[in-house]
Amino acid sequence: MRRLHAMAAVLGLMTLALAGPALAHNISGKDAAFVASSAGAHIGPFLYLGAKHMVTGYDHLLFILGVVFFLYRLKHVALYVTMFSLGHSITLLAGVLGDIHVNAYLIDAIIGLSVAYKAFDNLDGFRTLFGVQPDTRLVVLVFGLFHGLGLATKLQELHLSHRGLLANLISFNVGVEIGQLIALSLMLGLMLMWRKARGFANQAVLANIVILTAGFVLMQYQLVGYFTHRGA
């Protein structure tokens, strides 16, 4: 039963990614209206929005899942998650404060690629096909930079007020870290149960193939959006 619960949770995350635009995690509705109309520091609400955005950000979650999939020691989990957090914190703050504008479709396509990349790495694809193993820590940091730009584009679309901007951005980023910690705790708990299953090795291969596919689906969807809107 535990194995089934763990498998269901992991496959649920994959299904979110494959669901495509219907479950996109843009800031919208009442949240968007609040952010767009807010002036001054609103620490609590932006903490909440950051956490909510990460918890509902299936592309971010799939990447984190890929990163921790075969990490068995907490110190290794902490190292890799810190590299990812450092990356997305830098570009989230720099992107908004520095008014750095990038195409949201292209950035989200790279984020989709990051999901596929990590699953391919988990399948030992680089060593098998190319005889090399990239520095995973550096790769996680670099992809973290792109994930942060993805977060920045979502906020830039809302034309944030300059009053209280720094405090709100820091609060949003801290909220993202809280949401990431919540999601990571659930993932690690489920992975711990799943790894005890007899068939984990074979199931892990299948799971990473599905994650790989989900990453390419996300990337393709964003590229189609880019070329569609570019020609409009």
pLDDT tens digits for range 123-140: 999 999 999 999 999 999
109 domain residue, yes or no: yes
What was the pLDDT predicted at 5?
Answer: 46
The predicted model gives 31-58 an average pLDDT of 83
The predicted model gives 86-107 an average pLDDT of 94
What was the pLDDT predicted at 29?
Answer: 67
Residue 60: give the domain boundaries.
2-17+41-230
Residue 86: closest CA among 156, 137, 155: 137
65 domain residue, yes or no: yes
Position 32 pLDDT exceeds 80: no
138 domain residue, yes or no: yes
Q: What is the rounded distance in angstroms from the CA atom of residue 76 to the CA atom of residue 93?
A: 26
- Structural domains of the chain, count: 1
93 domain residue, yes or no: yes
The predicted model gives 38-43 an average pLDDT of 81
pTM of the predicted model as reported, rounded to 2 decimal places? 0.86
> Both tokens of residue 43?
């620490």
Q: What is the rounded distance in angstroms from the CA atom of residue 107 to the CA atom of residue 143?
A: 10
22 domain residue, yes or no: no
33 domain residue, yes or no: no
How many Cβ atoms are within 10 Å of 3's Cβ, its own excluded? 16
25 domain residue, yes or no: no
Instruction: Return all residues near 68 (Cβ < 8 A) that are at least 6 apart.
Output: 77, 80, 81, 184, 187, 188, 191
223 domain residue, yes or no: yes
The predicted model gives 78-86 an average pLDDT of 97
